[in-house]
A and B are shown apart, each in its own frame.
Chain A
């Protein structure tokens, strides 16, 4: 028997509530004192096609999934056809009794046909309650006390009290249907601190609210849609404004305008939208306007696979826009880091008066994870503002490169925020000497910038080192447990590039990236003149699983 260690996958056609099923299952496990990690997969459709949510449950904290599944829940036949190859020995399929399956086609797999549609109909909402029956049946089979599921249903539907009872009844019917059945995989509650079950998108959103967000003009795009929707929902009570601009160009420029006027503002997008924003990025650069951009990558190029994940925009973000100006790029590796790095992004943008891009991807934005809480020591405070006297020099040449900033409405603080090169007042100039000094001033800000050191996970003396960035973190950490002579250098700050030469010289290097062209490896080589020995890539639209990384590492070692 395997207790508190399994992977559950639910699939069905879009519109059947697969997305909320993942949330409910993971939240119930979290409330039972366990740790869950949930990742979704869906086509770019609203109805039809197959959606899945894959949830792994363990006792200890983690943030990745596996290529093998132990319990498959199928609301349609397609789910079984697509994922049966993932099933391990002793695994089980829970499926609607209307789907015809032959036992002989599934050796070593326990089949549990259940009356999903029938129960759902019986309790009133056939279309959207099959999933509830299925989750109930899952917990019945896995022997997790029904109270956890019941509590989650009550909370999730708190705003629609009418549907609470039918959902609980449907879940209970499913639960009772399978609770006597034997199962190799089981879940047992653990006494533990209350924990959160939260996605990257929500952590980013909460980070921005905590950082004092006042204005977010964001154009819809996967994978940041849940972030927009959440912010919009909370904007009234928390005193900020969410707008839908006519396009991303307007979105980023409205952000720049609001930030120029002194309100903490941000925009969020993915590659397609960011491509439209690049000219304006340069405008923030030359006007030294604080700018926070949350950038969730997805599989390109062009529309690519718009609901799939990839880490293929690092060099684009690093080099985007014409001309030379400083910027900061931060790549959080998990949900907690999404929160903390958003706070940091707002502080850095305001203090150094430049664009800060928080670079995530669909996998991190949309995956949901159990974490103890959202925490940070970063102090939120206003930075670099002036009390202007007569003759105010907004772009004063200073030792640090940071100039005092006035905001419109302040007396004596006039200046030109100028897309043209300008002098210390902001007035247009093409004087070669001033131009050179002004470019230097802008770049000087980076010289004094202090960012946290890269994080070295695992045995510090290991001879072989993995280097990676972003959402590969969880899978790498888990794979790392299987090897002694190996450690993992996680780079969160990619521009300006950290000084890692001493850390990585004399090591065998393995670079792991969810892209084809080894963008981080190129940056490492460019900045340290050290050529990594091994490159591990994946660009099929999915993030690495822990076991895939383990296999790839074995080939390198």
Chain B
């Protein structure tokens, strides 16, 4: 189906040129190629620029609280494993307010895809520094330059037990689309951290800046955890390079039960054998 059929008629309120547009397109292309019908799709977003997109998709969407797209998604997926659960979050919410949820969703290996729109800023609140802001970056909240080292979402996810860890770039849609497809097809928790230039509040990590630095992982053994750790630590180092692609993938049982619990008849649950124990 044409990708516009995944979208409502509501016009996105993102700034012209925002990296979020590309991510949205790549996602719709991936869904189209995987031929998942709209009504089997359940998308969770949080609160932020990326979160605002909940009204712009023709599918079940849930606009959760800031940093908290994952927990309701986990609840949904556990009771109805037949749904494809897509979770989107800003980096501020994902790696700040909601970090705990990421660690445990990874550990429990919940079968869903977590797409983080990583613009290294709290953009909806006018561009303060997030946990992924580069050291030295001047932002609204760090007018003299950020003094703390950024969090590394990829090594964090690998260490937490995520079974699919990847990085994409909003400026390379064919590649991003393939990553999203692979993540959806993966059985287990998939983190896709997506470099998403914010054209308004991030003058450091721009499309051009990334284009000069990104390259695709090749001849990389995605089943090698140590190697994955190593590659995931490359970020604009001496060679000024930033790798994209799947860093790590493994098959491990997911927390999900295979049963859809939402359709069961609950009208005549018999608790008499349970009560019997109290006589």
| A contacts, CB < 8 Å to B | 31, 194-198, 202, 206, 209-212, 214-215, 217, 234, 238-241, 243, 245-247, 249-251, 253-265, 279-280, 283, 287, 373-374, 380-382, 407-420, 422, 426-428
Taking A260-B76, A261-B262 as contacts, is the C-beta distance between A410 and B39 under 8 angstroms? yes
Partner of A428, one of B55, B78, B261: B55
Hey, which chain B residues are within 8 Å of A194, CB to CB?
279
A408 and B80 within 8 A (CB): yes
Give A380's nearest chain B residue, CB to CB.
Answer: B267
Q: Which residues of B contact A239 (CB under 8 A)?
A: 261, 264
Residues from chain B with Cβ under 8 Å of A414 in the complex: 38-39, 58-61
**Which residue of chain A has the shortest Cβ distance to B40 in the bound complex?**
A409
- B70 CB contacts on chain A under 8 angstroms: 250
7 nearest A-B pairs in the assembled complex, by CB-CB distance: A212-B266, A257-B72, A257-B75, A253-B71, A254-B75, A262-B262, A258-B75
Q: Are A417 and B75 in contact (CB under 8 A)?
A: no
Among A211, A238, A263, the residue within 8 A (CB) of B80 is A263
Q: Quick check: is B68 within 8 A (CB to CB) of the other chain? A: yes
Pull 10 A–B residue pairs with CB atoms less than 8 Å apart, ordered by A. A211-B269, A215-B261, A238-B269, A253-B75, A257-B71, A260-B62, A409-B80, A418-B62, A419-B47, A419-B65
Q: For B52, list chain A residues within 8 Å (CB).
A: 428
Indicate whether A408 sits within 8 Å of B72 (C-beta atoms), given known contacts A210-B269, A374-B275.
no
Tell whether A256 pairs with B275 under 8 Å between CB atoms, given A214-B261, A409-B40, A419-B47: no
A428: which B residues are within 8 A, CB to CB? 52, 54-55, 63
Contact with A along B64-102 (1 / 0, CB 8 A): 110010111111101110110000000000000000110
Q: Which chain B residues border A246 with CB–CB below 8 Å?
A: 100-101, 103-104
**Residues of B contacting A411 with CB < 8 Å?**
39
Q: Is the CB of A214 within 8 A of B68?
A: no
Q: Contacts A195-B279, A239-B261 given: A250-B74 contact, CB under 8 Å? A: yes
The answer on a CB contact under 8 Å between B266 and A256 is no
Q: Which B residues lie at the A interface, using CB under 8 A?
A: 8, 10, 38-40, 42, 44, 47, 52, 54-55, 58-65, 68, 70-76, 78-80, 82-83, 100-101, 103-104, 255, 257, 261-264, 266-269, 271, 274-275, 278-279
Are B55 and A408 in contact, CB atoms less than 8 angstroms apart?
A: no
| Residue of A198, A202, A249, A261 with most partner-chain B CB within 10 A | A261
A residues less than 8 Å from B63 (CB atoms)? 416-420, 428
CB distance from A473 to the nearest CB of B (A): 21
In the assembled complex, the CB of B34 is this many whole angstroms from the nearest CB of chain A, namely: 17
Q: Are B269 and A209 in contact (CB under 8 A)?
A: yes
Is A243 a contact partner of B78 (Cβ separation < 8 A)? Answer: yes
Q: CA of A303 to CA of B262 in the docked complex: distance in angstroms?
A: 37
Complexed CA–CA distance, A473 and B201 (Å): 60
Which chain A residues border B38 with CB–CB below 8 Å? 414
In the assembled complex, the Cα of A73 lies from the Cα of B47 at a distance in Å of: 59
- B41 to chain A: closest CB distance in Å? 8
Q: By the criterion CB–CB under 8 Å, are A373 and B80 in contact? A: no
Question: Which listed residue, B10, B75, B261, touches A256 by the CB 8 Å rule?
Answer: B75
B268 to chain A, nearest CB (A): 8
Query: How long is the Cα–Cα vector from A542 to B33 in the complex, in angstroms?
Result: 63
Q: How far, in whole Å, are A211 and B60 apart by their CA atoms in the complex?
A: 26
> B55 contacts A418, CB within 8 Å?
yes
Report how far A150 CA is from B197 CA in the complex, Å: 74
Q: Given A197-B278, A211-B266 in contact, is the A262-B79 Cβ separation under 8 Å? A: yes
Task: Name the residue of chain B whose CB is nearest to the CB of A230.
Answer: B274
In angstroms, Cα B263 to Cα A420, docked, is 29
- A229 smallest CB distance to B (angstroms): 14
Cα(A426)–Cα(B271), bound, Å: 38
Q: Taking the nearest CB of chain A, how far is it from the CB of B182, in angstroms?
A: 23
Once the chains bind, are A416 and B55 in contact (CB under 8 Å)? Answer: yes
Given contacts A206-B274, A246-B100, A408-B76, contact A283 B262 (CB under 8 A): no
CA distance A96 to B275 in the complex (A): 36
**With a CB–CB cut-off of 8 A, which chain A residues contact B82?**
409
**Distance between Cα atoms of A408 and B64 in the complex (Å):** 15
CA distance A249 to B72 in the complex (A): 10
Instruction: Determine which of A247, A257, A382, A409 lies in contact with B39 in the assembled complex, contact meaning CB atoms within 8 Å.
Output: A409
Q: Inside 8 A of B40's CB, which chain A residues have their CB? A: 409
Q: Which residues of B lie under 8 Å from residue A257 when comparing CB positions?
A: 44, 62, 71-76
Besides A407-B262, A408-B76, A417-B61, 11 new A-B residue pairs in contact (Cβ under 8 A), listed by A number = A206-B275, A217-B75, A246-B104, A250-B71, A258-B75, A261-B79, A279-B65, A374-B271, A374-B275, A380-B268, A410-B39
**Which chain A residue lies CB-closest to B104?**
A246
| A202 CB contacts on chain B under 8 angstroms | 278
Chain A, residue nearest B44 (CB): A257
Is A209 touching B68 in the complex (CB atoms < 8 A)? no
* Smallest CB gap from B56: residue in A: A427
B64 contacts A209, C-beta separation under 8 Å: no
State which of B39, B264, B278 has its C-beta within 8 Å of the C-beta of A198. Answer: B278
Identify which of B54, B71, B267 contacts A418 (C-beta below 8 A): B54
Q: How far, in whole Å, are A202 and B54 apart by their CA atoms in the complex?
A: 40
Residue picked from A209, A246, A373, most chain B C-beta under 10 Å: A246
Q: Which chain B positions have C-beta within 8 A of A243?
A: 78, 255
Given A258-B79, A409-B83, A428-B54: A382 in contact with B266 (beta carbons within 8 A): yes
Q: Cα distance A108–B55 when bound, in Å?
A: 78
Given known pairs A210-B271, A414-B58, the reply for A215 and B78 (CB within 8 Å) is yes
B65 adjacent to A247 (CB under 8 Å): no
Known: A246-B103, A283-B64, A412-B39. A261 touches B75 (CB 8 A): yes
Interfacial chain B residues near A198, Cβ < 8 Å: 278
Minimum CB–CB distance for B152 against chain A, Å: 20
**A441–B72 Cα gap in the complex (Å)?**
25
The answer on a CB contact under 8 Å between A258 and B55 is no
Report the Cα distance A249→B8, complex, angstroms: 31
The interface residues of chain A lying within 8 Å CB-to-CB of B261 are 214-215, 239-241, 263
User: Which of chain B's residues has its CB closest to A251's CB?
Assistant: B71
Cβ-defined contact, B100 with A247, below 8 A: yes
| Chain B, Cβ-Cβ closest to A207 | B271
**Chain A residue contacts of B64, Cβ below 8 A:** 253, 283, 419
> What residues of chain B lie closer than 8 Å to A255, measured between beta carbons?
75
CB distance from A61 to the nearest CB of B (A): 16
Nearest residue, chain A, Cβ from B270: A210
Taking CB as reference atom, which chain A residue is nearest B38? A414
* B33: min CB distance to chain A, Å: 21
Closest to B274 in A: A206
Partner among B59, B62, B80, B100 whose Cβ is within 8 Å of the Cβ of A262: B80
CA distance A259 to B62 in the complex (A): 12
